Amino acid sequence: MSAALSRTLTAQASDADVTRKLGKLEVAAQLSVIPLYSGDATVGGYAGTGLRLSLNRFWGGDSRGAFVEAANTNTPGDEVQRKPRLDVAALSIGWRAAPQGLVATEGTLGASRIRYVVPESQPCLPSDFCIGEGGSNFRDAAVNTVVAGLGVVLGPARKAGLRFDGRVHWPVQPPSGARDEKKPRVELAGGLRLRF
């Protein structure tokens, strides 16, 4: 009986020790997908897909609590699809809830700036036997947004694990003449995280 109790206390102390040793900084590298156009009768839909890098600063060495996050997402453009390149810079505050087993949930709220860079393409001219089709309608623009997100972290009490989250960017006073850039953007991301 005493041996079993001793092993239980040792295991609990070991878990607590892991939690205490977590650093206050966390970095994550994630694959990010941002739907841009849902498609129509003549043109298929597409999304911006690229790398999201983030740095979180926690207020304690625990596996839960408040943090500040700075993040940047870059997705390449495509001339054929008329898909713009996206540069998304975001700054948010967040809270990671107490772990439930190997999973913890988190939420964030902040601001972001989305830069749309439209690749140059040849105009569609009847003289070239080109027939104009439907499609997206983007132009070069920088849009400020409010961004809110929810996510899950796998292995939150460990120094390394996985992070999956989704967020919505709501434009705030889009620039005059904005087209598809003034629409809210959903961002889905998943990848590796490292606490140190």
Contact by Cβ (8 Å): 150, 111: no
Res. 179 pLDDT band, cuts 50 70 90 = confident
Q: What is the pLDDT of residue 188?
A: 98
Mean pLDDT of the 1-17 span: 48
Q: Which residue has the tokens 């970095």?
A: 27
| 134: pLDDT strictly greater than 70 | no
Q: Using one digit for the tens of pLDDT, what is the confidence trace for 12-64?
A: 444 444 444 688 999 999 999 999 988 776 667 889 999 999 999 999 888 89
The length of the chain, given as a count of residues: 196
Q: Please tell me the total count of domains within the chain.
A: 1
Q: Is 100 left (phi over 0), alpha (psi -120 to 50) or beta?
A: beta
Q: What is the pLDDT of residue 133?
A: 53
Q: Is 70 exposed, middle or buried (0-12, 13-18, 19+ CB in 10 A)?
A: middle
Q: pTM for this structure?
A: 0.80
User: Which CATH number belongs to the domain containing residue 175 in this structure?
Assistant: 2.40.160.20
CA 79 to chain centre: 24
Whole domain around residue 77: which residue ranges?
Answer: 2-195
User: Which residue in 57, 126, 110, 116 sits closest to 84, CA to CA?
Assistant: 116
